[in-house]
């Protein structure tokens, strides 16, 4: 598994990930509670993902396996917290790894 800071080139992969996760997990699953097909269509849309990936103070990390997006995490800057940009690369990678492990663990838990 490889971890990346997502860019606009990853929109299609993220869109596919959201749609497939929704089909697999359903509306009663953690993270999708009360979501509808329309909600997922909006979240997986190019418009929504474009705003997510280019929003100021926001970072989206993705995990890829064999070229496919298999997990994600999104961080948003909050005024009273230290900016992610101020972290050194090792700290940023540690946050990414921790986030990916949480996403992976929660997905594994849902499938058990």
Q: How sure is the predictor about 100, in pLDDT bands with cuts at 50, 70 and 90?
A: low
pLDDT tens digits, residue range 77-92? 765 445 555 555 555 5
pLDDT tens digits, residue range 32-56? 777 788 888 998 999 999 998 988 8
CATH of the domain at 51: 3.40.630.30
Q: Give CA–CA dist 96/93, Å, rounded.
A: 5
Closest CA to 56 of 36, 30, 27, 85: 85
Q: Give CA–CA dist 91/106, Å, rounded.
A: 23
User: For the chain, what is the domain count?
Assistant: 1
Model pLDDT, residue 102: 52
Domain that includes residue 85, residue range: 2-111
Model pLDDT, residue 88: 53
For residues 58 and 52, the answer to whether their CB atoms sit within 8 Å is: yes
Model pLDDT, residue 106: 42
């Amino acid at each position: 598994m490889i971890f990346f800071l997502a860019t606009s080139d990853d929109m299609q992969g993220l869109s596919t990930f959201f749609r497939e996760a929704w089909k697999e997990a359903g509306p009663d699953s953690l993270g999708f509670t009360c979501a509808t097909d329309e909600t997922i269509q909006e979240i997986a849309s190019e418009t929504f993902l474009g705003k997510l990936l280019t929003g100021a103070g926001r970072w989206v990390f993705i995990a890829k396996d064999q070229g496919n997006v298999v997990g994600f995490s999104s961080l948003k800057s909050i005024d009273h917290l230290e900016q992610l940009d101020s972290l050194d690369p090792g700290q940023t990678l540690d946050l990414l790894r921790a986030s990916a492990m949480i996403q992976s663990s929660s997905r594994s838990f849902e499938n058990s």
